[in-house]
C-alpha cells in the first residue's frame, strides 16, 4: 500500500518551459513507496480495512523472502490481532531464495502471481481452507516437484503451474471442473496424467510442450479440448478421446511427433485446423462419423499414416488437410464430400489410386500436386470445377459418363511431354480447351459430346488406339493426320459401317469392331488391361489385313500421310482410300 507520494515542481522559467521540465523531473524522481502496511517476524502484511484481516504481502526488492516460511493463522500488530486470510497478488513473487512454504488453515486464497519466479521453491503445503488459486500463482517455480491441491479448491486460474520444469505429480480435486488455459504448459517433468472424471473442459495450451508426457487419460466428462491443449507433447504415444467429447480445438495434438495411435469417439463433431499436423509417427487414426469438415492441415505431414477412412457425412476437405501424408497409398472420397480443398493431398507421394465417388463437386487447385506415384484417378460426373491440376506419372484418367464440367483451371501432365496410358472421356463439357495431356489410348464414353473434341488439347503424338463406346456416331473434330494413319479406332459391335460414313471418323485407316461396351470405369480403376476388358486379346488377327504401302492419288509412294486423297494398299490386295483435310 502506498504510504507517501511526493512530487516537487520547479517554478516556470522565463522561457515558458519550466512547467514541462518540472513535470518530467517529478516523474523521473524516485517515489517513496511501500508495498506493505506492516511487518511482523519477517513476514510482511497488508491490512484489509473492510474485513479487519491481513494478507501476506511482498516485502519489495530489499525485503525478499528466503528459506522456509510458515504463514501463521493470525498476526498481532500494535495490539490489534488479525486473521491471516490469504496471500496477496505477487505476495512472494521473485523471491528466488524461497525454499518451502507452509500455509495455515486460515488461508482461503492464493492471489495472482503469488509465487511467480520463485525458482528455488520445492514444496507448498496447502490447507483444506484454500478455495481459490489465482492465475500464474506458481509460474516458473522450476524446482517444485509435487503439489497436492485440496478438495476445498473450486477455482484455479490460468497458467498456474506454467513452466514448472521439475513438477512430476499433481493431484487435482474433484471440485475442479476445468483445467484452465496454460495450467501445465511446459511442465517438462510430467510423465503421466490422469484427468479427474469431473473435468468438463481442457483449456487452450493446458499441457502445451509437456515434452516428457507419455500418457494422459481423458474421462468421459470432458466435453471440449482447447486449442494447442497437448501441442508439442513430443513423448505422447497414444490418445483416446472418449465418448462425450464434442470438440477438439486447433493444434490440439500438433507436433506430437511420437504419437502413433489416436482413437476418437464418434461423439466428436468438430476438430480444428492442424489438429494432428506434424504427428510424424501417427499410423492409426479414425475420423468420427459426426464430423462435417476436415479442417485445413488437420493431418498434414502425418508421414506414417498408411490409410484413412473418410466417413460418408464429411462435407468438405480443407486446404492441405492431408498434405505430405507420404504413407497413404489409396484414397477414397465419399459422395458426401462436396469440396476437396487446394493442396488437400499435395505431396502424398505414396498415393497410387484416388477414387472420387459421385457427389464431389469441386476439386481445388493442386489438390494432388506432386503425388508422384498416383497412377489412377476417377473424376465423377458430379464434378463441376477443377482447379489447376498437375500430374507427373498418371496412367489412367477417367472423366465419368454424365459429367458436365464448367471449369478446369489448367489440367496438365508435369515434366517434359510425359504420356498417360488411358484417358476416358465421358459427358458433355466445354472446358477441354484447358487440357494438356499426351494419351496413348483415348476412350470416348457413350455420352461424350463429340462436338467438343479439339486435337490441339489432346496431344496425339503418342496415341496408338481410340476406343469409342458411341453407338450412333456424329461428326467429330479432326484428329491429326498421323493419328488417322497410325492409331486404330475400335468401335462397338455392328457399327463399323456407321463410322466409315461419318466425317472425322471415316478418315481412320484402320477401324475395327470390338466389345467396347465391356469397358467399365471400375475395371479401368482396377488396372484391368483394355485388351482384357474388350476381349481384343482373344481375337486372332489376319496377318494379311495389314498395311503394305501408302500412296498419293497419282500412285506415288508416300512415307507419311498428306493432305488430300491417301491410298493404302493392304497385304491381302485390298485398297483403302482416305481423305486427309
Q: What is the pLDDT of residues 342-400, one digit of tens each?
A: 999 999 999 999 999 999 999 999 899 889 888 888 899 999 888 877 676 788 888 88
Distance CA 218, CA 262 (A): 12
pLDDT, tens digit (0-9, with 9 covering 90-100), for 505-523: 999 999 999 888 888 888 8
**Are the C-beta atoms of 558 and 551 separated by less than 8 Å?**
yes
Q: Which DSSP symbol is given to 102?
A: E
Give residue limits of the domains in the chain: 392-539, 543-581
Please state, in angstroms and rounded to a whole number, the distance separating the CA atoms of residues 104 and 137: 17
Sequence-distant contacts of 177-181: CB under 8 A, at least 24 apart: 177/201, 178/202, 178/203, 179/203, 179/206, 180/135, 180/156, 180/206, 181/205, 181/206, 181/226
Query: Which one has a higher pLDDT value, 551 or 103?
Result: 103
- SS3 category, 450: helix
Q: What percent of the chain is predicted at pLDDT more than 90?
A: 63
Cell numbers given for 219 = 474421462
Consecutive H or E run containing 482: helix 481-486
Beta bridge partners of 23: none
The answer to whether 477 and 581 have CB atoms below 8 angstroms apart is: no
Bridge-partner residues for 339, per DSSP? Answer: 316, 362
pLDDT on residue 576: 66
**What 3-state DSSP class applies to 530?**
helix
Which H helix or E strand runs over 239?
strand 238-241
3-state class of 523 per DSSP? helix
The pLDDT of 488-509, averaged and rounded, is: 94
Residue 30 is predicted with a pLDDT of 41
| Cβ neighbours around 501 below 10 Å, total | 10
Average of per-residue pLDDT values in the chain: 86
Most confident residue range from 15-29, 331-345, 403-417: 331-345
What are the C-alpha distances in Å from 449 to residues 78, 453, 469?
102, 8, 12
Distance CA 39, CA 501 (A): 112
**pLDDT band at residue 437 using 50, 70 and 90 as cut-offs:** confident
pLDDT at residue 428 is higher than 90: no
Residues 557 and 548: their CA atoms lie apart, in Å, by 11
Give ∠ CA 464-466-470 in degrees, rounded to 5: 175
CA proximity to 294, closest of 357, 338, 351: 338
Q: Which helix (H) or strand (E) holds 55?
A: strand 53-56
DSSP string, 336-369: T--EE-TTTTTT-TT--EEEEPBTB-EE-TTTTT
Rounded to an integer, the average pLDDT of 144-155 is 95
Asked if residue 545 has pLDDT above 60, the reply is no
DSSP class of 483: H
* 422 vs 203: CA distance, rounded Å: 53
Asked if 214 contacts 235 with a C-beta cutoff of 8 angstroms, the reply is: yes
User: Which uninterrupted H or E stretch holds 385?
Assistant: strand 385-391
* Per-residue model confidence (pLDDT) at position 177: 95
CA distance linking residue 402 with residue 148, whole number of Å: 67
Cβ(318)–Cβ(297) under 8 Å? yes
Greatest mean pLDDT among 86-100, 391-405, 477-491: 86-100
Alpha helices for 29-159 (secondary structure H): none
Amino acid at each position: 500500500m502506498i504510504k507517501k507520494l511526493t512530487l516537487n515542481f520547479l517554478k516556470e522559467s522565463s522561457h515558458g518551459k519550466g512547467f514541462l521540465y518540472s513535470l518530467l523531473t517529478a516523474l523521473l524522481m524516485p517515489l517513496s513507496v511501500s508495498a506493505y502496511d506492516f511487518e511482523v517476524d519477517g513476514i510482511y502484511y497488508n491490512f484489509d480495512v473492510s474485513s479487519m484481516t491481513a494478507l501476506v504481502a511482498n516485502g519489495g526488492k530489499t525485503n525478499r523472502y528466503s528459506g522456509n516460511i510458515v504463514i501463521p493463522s493470525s498476526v498481532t500488530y500494535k495490539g490489534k490481532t488479525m486473521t491471516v486470510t490469504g496471500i496477496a497478488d505477487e505476495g512472494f513473487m521473485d523471491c528466488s531464495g524461497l525454499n518451502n512454504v507452509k500455509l495455515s488453515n486460515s488461508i482461503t486464497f492464493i492471489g495472482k502471481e503469488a509465487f511467480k519466479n520463485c525458482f528455488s521453491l520445492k514444496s507448498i503445503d496447502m490447507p483444506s481452507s484454500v478455495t481459490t488459486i489465482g492465475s500464474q500463482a506458481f509460474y516458473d517455480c522450476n524446482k517444485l516437484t509435487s503439489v497436492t491441491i485440496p478438495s476445498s479448491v473450486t477455482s484455479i486460474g490460468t497458467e498456474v503451474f506454467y513452466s514448472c520444469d521439475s513438477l512430476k505429480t499433481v493431484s487435482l480435486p474433484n471440485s475442479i471442473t476445468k483445467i484452465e488455459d496454460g495450467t501445465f504448459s511446459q511442465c517438462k517433468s510430467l510423465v503421466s496424467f490422469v484427468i479427474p472424471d469431473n473435468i468438463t473442459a481442457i483449456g487452450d495450451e493446458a499441457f502445451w510442450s509437456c515434452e516428457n508426457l507419455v500418457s494422459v487419460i481423458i474421462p468421459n466428462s470432458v466435453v471440449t479440448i482447447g486449442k494447442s491443449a497437448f501441442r508439442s507433447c513430443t513423448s505422447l504415444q497414444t490418445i483416446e478421446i472418449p465418448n462425450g467429447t464434442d470438440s477438439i480445438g486447433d493444434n490440439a495434438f500438433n507436433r506430437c511427433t511420437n504419437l502413433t495411435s489416436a482413437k476418437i469417439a464418434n461423439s466428436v463433431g468438430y476438430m480444428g485446423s492442424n489438429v494432428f499436423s506434424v504427428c510424424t509417427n501417427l499410423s492409426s487414426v479414425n475420423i468420427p462419423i459426426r464430423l462435417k469438415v476436415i479442417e485445413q492441415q488437420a493431418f498434414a505431414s502425418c508421414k506414417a499414416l498408411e490409410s484413412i477412412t473418410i466417413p460418408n457425412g464429411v462435407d468438405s476437405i480443407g486446404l492441405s488437410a492431408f498434405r505430405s501424408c507420404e504413407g497413404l497409398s489409396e484414397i477414397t472420397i465419399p459422395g458426401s464430400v462436396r469440396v476437396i480443398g487446394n493442396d488437400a493431398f499435395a505431396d502424398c507421394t505414396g498415393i497410387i489410386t484416388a477414387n472420387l465417388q459421385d457427389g464431389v463437386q469441386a476439386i481445388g487447385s493442386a489438390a494432388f500436386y506432386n503425388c508422384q506415384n498416383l497412377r489412377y484417378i476417377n473424376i465423377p460426373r458430379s464434378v463441376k470445377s477443377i482447379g489447376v491440376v498437375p500430374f507427373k506419372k498418371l496412367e489412367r484418367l477417367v472423366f465419368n459418363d454424365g459429367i458436365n464440367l464448367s471449369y478446369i483451371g489448367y489440367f496438365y501432365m508435369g515434366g517434359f511431354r510425359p504420356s498417360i496410358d488411358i484417358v476416358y472421356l465421358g459427358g458433355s463439357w466445354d472446358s477441354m480447351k484447358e487440357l494438356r495431356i499426351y494419351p496413348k489410348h483415348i476412350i470416348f464414353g457413350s455420352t461424350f459430346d463429340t462436338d467438343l473434341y479439339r486435337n490441339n488439347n489432346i496431344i496425339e503424338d503418342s496415341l496408338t488406339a481410340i476406343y469409342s463406346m458411341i453407338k450412333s456416331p456424329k461428326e467429330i473434330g479432326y484428329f491429326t493426320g498421323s493419328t488417322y494413319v497410325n492409331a486404330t479406332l475400335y468401335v462397338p459391335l455392328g457399327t463399323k459401317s456407321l463410322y466409315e460414313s461419318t466425317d472425322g471418323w471415316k478418315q481412320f485407316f484402320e477401324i475395327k469392331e470390338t466389345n467396347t461396351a465391356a469397358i467399365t470405369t471400375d475395371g479401368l480403376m482396377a488396372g484391368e488391361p483394355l485388351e482384357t476388358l474388350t476381349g481384343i486379346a482373344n481375337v486372332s488377327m489376319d496377318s494379311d489385313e495389314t498395311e503394305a504401302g501408302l500412296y498419293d492419288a497419282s500412285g506415288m509412294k508416300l512415307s507419311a500421310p498428306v493432305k488430300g486423297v491417301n491410298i493404302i494398299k493392304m497385304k491381302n490386295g485390298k485398297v483403302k482410300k482416305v481423305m486427309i483435310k
